[in-house]
Structure 1
Amino acid sequence: MPKLSVIIPCYFNEENIPVTTQELVANEVNFPSEVTFEYVFVNDGSGDDTLGALRHAQGHYPGRIRIVDLAGNVGSYNAIVAGIAHATGDCLAVITADLQDPPELMVQMYAHWKKGFKLVIGSRQNREETGLSVTLAKAFHWLMKNLALGNIPDGGFDFVFFDRQVAIEVTKMHERNSNVFYLMVWLGFAYVSIPYTRRKRKIGKSRWTLNKKIKLLVDSLLAFSFLPIRAISVLGLGLGAIALLYGVYVIALKIASPNEPAGWTSLMVVMLFVSAFQMIALGVIGEYVWRGLDAARQRPLYVVNQTYEDATPEQEIAAGS
């Protein structure tokens, strides 16, 4: 009997938990009867009572929910890795706690997994959301597809279904400052992409701030693309060639007109241009150096405060009251 582990990272999702658990459990009837289920909720250092809501849900659905309570906030991708490490299923899925991704799509994903695909991706073909966040998300995934990983599906994704082998490989890498979903594609397994429309968030407020989006873009580009460092090399060679030509021009000008005063304006333009390039180059190289230092420290991706395997009888009584 195959076991499906559904991993749900949680951050300030106190209000979402009752609805999320109800929809996930209700979706079980759409699967073949042979499938058993395990829901691994990872509390990513939430400042509200997400843990309390999860413990209450555990009382409602005994034997189904496992809670991994992290000591502090480490970001959704590291929280997902923690969930993968604690999951015991033959196949696994990752879905958001706000249910913007439809749980019913997991039935199709499971069918593809049964056919032998080790990775099934739910790609966001359309969105019910509007506004600047949608534009930024599309720009992010366009950049990643064209500059880093050309084999990722269009539209972006963070809803995946994958085999135990993929889970083992991801946890073995201990990748820092990266994107766990892109790591799954990078592994090279053949995958199926299922397009869907992402729902609009109905409960709570997203904590996915602009700063976090920018950090994700920088982390993803530096983790999967050599373009930034290669661009510096190409630009440096180009500027070197221009400087060489300008030097030849200055020498020729000096020979032809010994009394001609030097051009202060052109000299300052060249100096400012080269100085700006040097600062940008140092910034990009610094990003790589910092990531190398961060990896060399070998600090854990996450620290588990406590795991809750099942509800106590008292919690089951409280949940039923």
Structure 2
Amino acid sequence: MIPEINIIIPLYNEEKVFPLLISRITELLNRSQLVITVILVDDGSSDSTSFLMKQLSSVDDRFLSVILSRNFGHQIALTAALTMVNASEAVMIIDGDLQDPPELLQEMYLFYKDGYDVVYAVRESRKEGAFKVGLYKLFYRMLQKIASIDIPLDSGDFSLISRRVVDVMNKMPEESRYLRGMRSWVGFKQIGYKYSRPDRQAGNTQYTLRHLLRLAMNGIFNFSEFPIKFITFLGVSTMSISVIYFIVTLVKRFSSDYIPDGFTAIIFLIILFGGVQLISIGIIGEYLIRVFFQVKKRPLFIIKELIVDKKEIKNWDIS
């Protein structure tokens, strides 16, 4: 029997929260009338996460474990899980820290049955530091303003998506992936589902500020033309400032005894144009580095081991 629903969960050094995660998932599987298979992906953990996954999959065939050869990153781990999907209907994406409650599957599934291909979770509130919450809100609102597509506010990867959306996303070859943007780009009928995001249940977050910044940059540069157009705006603005400064200087020179301070003017122009050039090069560089990695056509991920139907397959190198 082909499972009706897959739940995919990326994991990275989550040994502390793993028992609680599996307990809640198992409870959901036991009481749900849906046929559900869970796809766990270990993203190169250095703790016992992969061991716990393999141990679970070897005794319960409702859990499929994918062990990646190293840490490829959260978005790539999700991508690996999406390629392993075998559900006939839909796929639920959640994080392993239980900030995305798996129990919401039943309510989100009702929207799917009403004809929605994407049911994305919208965070009404989140139990995190005020500074971090403020940054999230600022980023999502800025991205919505500059993005070339409509990316819903305050929505992450937590979602229920139809099998046909999964199939389309699996055909998208982006190396610098921003899945929530790709999910919006696909189109089809989509709806938001509001929820209050709880705190992490155990352990520490593996998403550092550096990782969050990289994800934000992927969102901006992959789904917006604004950065490259900003260079033109910056160039026109600086040229205008320089022309105005030049005109003012000429007027003062010929209408009074004012003598321009050459050293000050030169320093001003050097700083102004030097800063503009460096910003422009940096923006162009962000696009170029994405093209550079994309044209290499390396596999997005490498699967080291696969445990399915209680059987372990090693040296799995298809990606």
- Whether TM-score is above 0.5 comes out as yes
Alpha-carbon distance in structure 2 between the residues aligned to 1:129 and 1:260: 58
When the two chains are superposed, the root-mean-square deviation of aligned CA atoms in Å is: 2.3
Alpha-carbon distance in structure 2 between the residues aligned to 1:245 and 1:98: 56
**Are 1:6 and 2:4 counterparts?**
no
Task: State the match for 2:164 in structure 1.
Answer: 165
- For 2:46, give the aligned amino acid: G
Runs of 4+ in 1 over 3 A off after TM superposition: 244-262
- For 2:133, give the aligned amino acid: V
| Aligned-residue offset at 1:67 | 0.8
List per-residue Cα deviations over 1:174-226 (Å, max 9, x = no partner): 11213112210111222111100111112111111011111111111011111
Task: State the match for 1:223 in structure 2.
Answer: 222
- For 1:159, give the aligned amino acid: F
Alpha-carbon distance in structure 2 between the residues aligned to 1:112 and 1:8: 21
Task: State the match for 2:21 in structure 1.
Answer: 20
Bigger mean CA offset, 245-254 vs 42-51: 245-254
* Aligned partner of residue 214 in structure 2, secondary structure: helix
Percent identity reads: 28
Task: State the match for 1:47 in structure 2.
Answer: 46
* Aligned partner of residue 158 in structure 1, secondary structure: strand
* Aligned partner of residue 26 in structure 1, secondary structure: helix
Return 5+ residue gaps in structure 2 as ranges. Answer: 313-319
The answer on whether the counterparts of 1:78 and 1:302 sit within 8 Å (CA) in structure 2 is yes
Q: TM-score, normalised by structure 1?
A: 0.89
- For 2:71, give the aligned amino acid: N
The answer on whether the counterparts of 1:70 and 1:305 sit within 8 Å (CA) in structure 2 is yes
List per-residue Cα deviations over 1:93-150 (Å, max 9, x = no partner): 1111111111111111111111221111111111233343222222222222222266
Task: State the match for 2:262 in structure 1.
Answer: 263
Q: Aligned residues, how many?
A: 310
Q: TM-score, normalised by structure 2?
A: 0.90
- For 2:83, give the aligned amino acid: A
Alpha-carbon distance in structure 1 between the residues aligned to 2:21 and 2:280: 46
Task: State the match for 1:122 in structure 2.
Answer: 121
- For 2:103, give the aligned amino acid: E
Relative to 1, partners in 2 of residues 1:307 and 1:260: Cα closer, same or farther, differing over 3 Å? Answer: same
Task: State the match for 2:143 in structure 1.
Answer: 144
Task: State the match for 1:77 in structure 2.
Answer: 75
Matches within 5 A, 1:243-262: 243-248=242-247, 260=259
| Aligned-residue offset at 1:2 | 5.8
Alpha-carbon distance in structure 2 between the residues aligned to 1:246 and 1:7: 59
Alpha-carbon distance in structure 1 between the residues aligned to 2:128 and 2:69: 33
The answer on whether the counterparts of 1:125 and 1:154 sit within 8 Å (CA) in structure 2 is no
Alpha-carbon distance in structure 1 between the residues aligned to 2:302 and 2:141: 34
* Aligned partner of residue 50 in structure 2, secondary structure: helix
- For 1:69, give the aligned amino acid: I
The answer on whether the counterparts of 1:18 and 1:57 sit within 8 Å (CA) in structure 2 is no
The answer on whether the counterparts of 1:30 and 1:104 sit within 8 Å (CA) in structure 2 is no
* Aligned partner of residue 202 in structure 1, secondary structure: coil
Task: State the match for 2:293 in structure 1.
Answer: 294
Alpha-carbon distance in structure 1 between the residues aligned to 2:148 and 2:45: 32
- For 1:68, give the aligned amino acid: V
- For 1:79, give the aligned amino acid: A
* Aligned partner of residue 275 in structure 2, secondary structure: helix
- For 2:207, give the aligned amino acid: W
